[in-house]
Structure 1
Amino acid sequence: MVVEINHFIIYLREIKKTSKNTEVSYQRDLLQMASFLGQQGIMEVGKVTKTSLNSYILYLEKEGRATTTISRTLASMKAFFHYECAQGNIGKDPAELIKAPKVEKKEPTILTVDEVNCLLSQPDGESPKELRDRAMLELLYATGIRVSELINLRKADVNLTVGYITCRDEHKERMIPFGKVAKLALSAYMERGREYLLKEQDCEWLFTNCNGKAMSRQGFWKIVKFYGDKAGIKADITPHSLRHSFAAHLLRNGADIHVVQAMLGHSDMATTQMYMNYAQKEAVRRAYTGVHPRG
């Protein structure tokens, strides 16, 4: 089954043009599935049944895996077996009728403006690392891009003169503006920090780790965690918290929801709408405290 999985990953890369992160995620999920099925004596794709896949889902639930993880795994399985069916390798798709567990939607962690300001002020030194960290945090909050988009930015994707970045995902390209503060942080990093991190190596990536290599998602998560703790922020923040906060703060201050949707790269307006709900709650709270005698 591993051979078929590898062929599927090549198909994703060369035909579907999926991102590296998507490839890695699908491959990891499918190899874990294949390992479980192999222990049950199921070694060939054609011998996989709906029952055996349901057994694997049940196993993941018993292992205490999060519903989001199980849903993602099921999505990988469905894509793989749909591909195998389309290729004529199997006669029937065993994953077609399997339903994902219901995922409880959690409220996104949205920082206050004061919390964001406190977080972004933490890397205040002039070392190459602090210049890089400040630029990454400022740019993330200024644009609301995803962490994967941030760490995959190339130097050529930044236009400092006009003040915008070009982001590319699997399906489209979008240009996102950024403001003066992010521009100053980026300029300082590119002028006084980046070349020291590169250590005379050639690298197309805008942000690198301290060895001059591409920054990883885990590496940036640690950066956010470090400065969040340093700022004394009690909320359980992640890099995505700055994306949530970017959207919520823009909408609260009157930005058009369609503009925010375009900047975030959401294909579905409903995804952006959740930030509007937050903005409306904040507007009610501010109106109340502004006029109530004991507000």
Structure 2
Amino acid sequence: AEVMAGRRPRTGARRLSALRRFYRHLQAKGSVSEDPTEGIEGPRIGINLPQSLSEEEVERLLAAPGDQTPEALRDRAMLEVLYATGLRVSELVALRLSEIDSQAGIVRIVGKGGRERLVPLGEEAQAVLADYLRDARAVFLKGMPATAVFLTRRGGPMTRQAFWCNIKRYAAKAGVETPLSPHTMRHAFATHLINHGADLRVVQLLLGHADLSTTQIYTHVARERLRVLHARHHPRG
């Protein structure tokens, strides 16, 4: 029990698991006859459900930058692409022109572990991105070459930290009170897809999760949607 004392549930669970493997090894070798961890109950680990935004909050956030300046066009395009594709912020700021297929309306992303995936942009994100590329990006370039899609005033690629500051500023402007994290728009992307009927395996592919178990954090969304649909359509709902 001491292995759990004063420990967070996940830390205690990891230590208990390591001790169990150790004593099983000793038992297999015949060094011990009993496993003292056998009677210890592991801690209960809750599911950390991701914070998401409502569709109405997302609409306000996307509109917050406006379109009056090159920076506003860039930030609106970044938010639209982020919500349309569910990219990680690190993937968004690293996006290169060569990874955008404007004809097909898709982006090619090389994510964690070198895994490649193709993600649709959607009409709205394509239109806003085209406005930025046509009217604003050249302002940042100042005649210098650059491969990154999203640039700063100095012509360098946008950083995760700078974009994160922008998101918080626009959230305050839009009156969005839901606590934000760098993954908030990614969670909103997945949640809203499922709310509109997308299968978990489709969401897994779009998010670039190697294992469906990672995507299953969104099963609570799918269950709630099923409950609402049952209540709405079943004769005795």
TM-score interval for Structure 1 and Structure 2 normalised by the shorter chain? 0.7 to 0.9
Q: Does 1:140 align with 2:75?
A: no
In structure 1, runs of 5+ residues without a counterpart are 1-60, 71-101
**Which residue in the other structure is 2:94 paired with?**
152
Instruction: State the structure with bigger RCO (CA 8 A, min sep 6), 1 or 2.
Output: 2
Partner of residue 122 from structure 2, selected from 170, 179, 188: 179
How much does 1:253 deviate? 0.9
Deviating 4+ runs (over 4 angstroms): 102-105, 285-288
**Counterpart residue identity of residue 195, structure 2:** R
Match of 2:196 in 1: 253
Deviations 1:209-267 (A, max 9, x none): 22111111101101110111111111111331110010111111111221110110001
- 2:60 aligned with 1:118: yes
**Identity of matched residues, %:** 38
Q: CA RMSD in A?
A: 2.6
Q: Counterpart amino acid of 2:50? A: P
Q: Distance in 1 between matches of 2:192 and 2:104?
A: 23
List per-residue Cα deviations over 1:47-93 (Å, max 9, x = no partner).
xxxxxxxxxxxxxx9xxxx999x9xxxxxxxxxxxxxxxxxxxxxxx
Q: Do the aligned partners of 1:252 and 1:280 also contact (CA within 8 Å) in 2?
A: no
TM-score by length of 1: 0.61
Count the aligned residue pairs. 196
Q: Give the structure 1 partner of residue 109 of structure 2.
A: 167
Q: Distance in 1 between matches of 2:222 and 2:53?
A: 12
Does the 8 Å contact 1:166/1:175 carry over to 2? yes
Asked whether 1:224 is paired with 2:167, we answer yes
TM-score (norm 2): 0.75
In the alignment, what sits opposite 2:72?
Answer: 130
Q: Which has the higher helix share?
A: 1
CA deviation after TM superposition for structure 1 residue 171, in Å: 2.2
Runs (5+) with no aligned partner, structure 2: 1-5, 12-43
Deviation, structure 1 residue 204: 0.6
Query: Cα deviation per residue 1:17-46 (whole Å; 9 max; x = unaligned)?
Result: xxxxxxxxxxxxxxxxxxxxxxxxxxxxxx
Give the whole-Å Cα distance in 2 for the aligned partners of 1:203 and 1:155.
9
Give secondary structure in 2 for the equivalent of 1:239. Answer: coil
Q: For the residues of structure 1 that align with 2:219 and 2:68, how far apart are their CA atoms?
A: 38
